[in-house]
Amino acid sequence: MASSNQALLERATLLVASFASFATPFIGSATNIALPSIGKEFSADAVTLSWVATSFLLSAAVFLTPFGRLADIYGRKKILNYGLIIFTIASFFCAFAPGINGLIFWRVIQGLGGAMIFGTAMAIITSVFPKEKRGKALGVAVASVYTGLTLGPFIGGYLTKLWGWQGIFLFTVPLGIIAVTLSFIYLKQEWADAKGEQFDWKGSVIYGFAIISLMYGFGELPGLYGIIFTVTGFVGITLFIIYEKKQKFPVLNIHLFIKNKIFAFSNYAALINYSATFAIGFLLSLYLQYIKGLNPQQAG
């Protein structure tokens, strides 16, 4: 009986994590295809359109580390469920945004929900699956991530041509509802490895301020404000590292990067890879539709 319950928990956990892991990267890659349609409807220029994509990533980057730590303290399932609910609600309101500023606002909220999902889905898998099954389960979840990234432009282009750019966001709503339902029904246990420890609010604020300054600064280069914000961002990252090394309960354990060079350099390689591929997807979508005159489905 115990083994059957464990098997059911493992299947349900993998299903929820796979749904969540698919939806968040899917919406990121699919939105790039819809940008020209969004710009046409709201009369937005390319710089403003870039914030439709960047606002999601910026929000996810700012909140990922703090919510990962909060999940360790208060419960990973709880944060995952809240993230799925926020992501689903924000997706719905993105589809009915009255203007470009409203869309960017809900993309920020969507990124917040995405951060709560990113920071917990994989961690729950490692908590549920025993060592001999963990590699396979993580492989399935990671495959779901890249499936979302791969199918995003194709499905996004088809939905944009069929129902407009709103179809992309509405497509993720049932995915979120299914994941939330499965989580509430099957995930009865809670996982909180750092329960009772303090949350590092100061470190989280420094981290968020540094990331926002850095990303905004890069977007404004080579102007004066771009230089100021970029330098401020690098200074903030430096202060964050120094501060976190002294904390008993840091929001991010810096020693993981100092003591494990393979881990540090693999993260650095991933940063370079995703920075390059995301830029290509954004620019290529605009090029194919604005310059080459392709429709969203053809561009996808």
Helix residue ranges per DSSP H, 129-249: 131-163, 166-186, 201-220, 224-245
Phi, psi (degrees; rounded to nearest 5) at 45: -85, 180
Q: What is the pLDDT of residue 109?
A: 94
Rg of the chain (C-alpha set): 20
Please state the domain extents for the chain.
2-197+295-299
Q: What is the pLDDT of residue 282?
A: 63
Q: What is the pLDDT of residue 29?
A: 82
C-alpha to C-alpha distance for 160 and 170, rounded to whole angstroms: 11
Q: What is the pLDDT of residue 209?
A: 92
C-alpha to C-alpha distance for 191 and 120, rounded to whole angstroms: 10
Angle, CA of 99, 157 and 294, to the nearest 5°: 95
Chunk the chain into consecutive blocks of 10 residues (it has 300) and report each block's average pLDDT, rounded to whole numbers. Answer: 67 82 83 84 81 88 90 88 92 91 93 88 83 85 85 84 87 87 80 81 91 84 85 92 87 83 84 75 65 59
Identify the CATH assignment for 2-197+295-299 out of 3.40.630.30, 1.20.1250.20, 3.40.190.10, 3.40.50.970.
1.20.1250.20
Q: What is the pLDDT of residue 108?
A: 94
**What does the block give as tokens for 132?**
């001999």
Q: CA 47: distance to chain centroid?
A: 21
- Which residues are within 8 A (CB) of 6 and not within 5 positions of it... i.e. 6 or more apart? none
C-alpha to C-alpha distance for 178 and 19, rounded to whole angstroms: 8
